[in-house]
Amino acid sequence: MSTGNNLIPVINAYIKHFSRQSWPILATRDWHAPNHCSFTEQGGPHPTHCVQGSRGSQFHSDLVMPPGMMVISKGTDPKKDARSGFEGSSLADRLEDLNVKTIFVLGPATQDCLKQTVLEAHKIGLKVVILKDAIGTTKQITDTLSEIALAGVFQATAADFGIQ
């Protein structure tokens, strides 16, 4: 597991590998209105983040986005928090349209969003693999990985795919 900008090279390596397999690449993002209920200024638990159209809502500039990659926005309703990438978004529909049965999860996730997305995916019948060398690292995420492994979620690293 890595932190911050250290994630970008391994995420790019996964994207390149999966693109070569012709697997669909979907990216979820928080896309909050400036007055989102999850912000501390609105009585929520989180500082202001990922405000629609702001610099903080953009993907990292070094991230290599493949042609045809779908971006799924979550947290768009200012009155409803969305912890899972599935909650209040078109993610489940897009995966069904693409006939996806297995998802690979990576990114600088918080333990809450990562956990909720993975558990929701598992709940709707998807096989879930967390790419543990391409997610953030904190004690909470380590605990989350242990917890979701008990729910039947798999874990892998780039070495498991032969990615250098």
DSSP conformation class of 79: T
Distance between CA 54 and CA 119 in Å, rounded?
A: 29
Q: Helices in 76-154 by DSSP H: which ranges? A: 91-97, 111-123, 139-150
Per-residue pLDDT at 2: 42
Any idea where the domains of the chain sit in the sequence? 4-157
Per-residue pLDDT at 152: 85
**pLDDT tens string for the chain (164 positions)?**
444 678 999 999 999 999 999 999 999 999 999 999 999 999 999 999 999 999 999 999 999 999 999 999 999 999 999 999 999 999 999 999 999 999 999 987 666 788 889 999 999 999 999 998 998 766 666 777 788 888 888 999 999 999 97
Question: Could you tell me which of 82, 71, 90 has the C-alpha nearest to residue 28?
Answer: 71
Task: Report the top-level CATH class of 4-157.
Answer: alpha beta
Per-residue pLDDT at 22: 95
pTM of the predicted protein model: 0.89
Per-residue pLDDT at 69: 94
Strand residues in the chain grouped as ranges (E): 26-30, 70-74, 102-107, 127-135, 154-156
Q: Which 3 state secondary structure label does DSSP give 61?
A: coil
> Partners of 29 in the beta sheet?
73
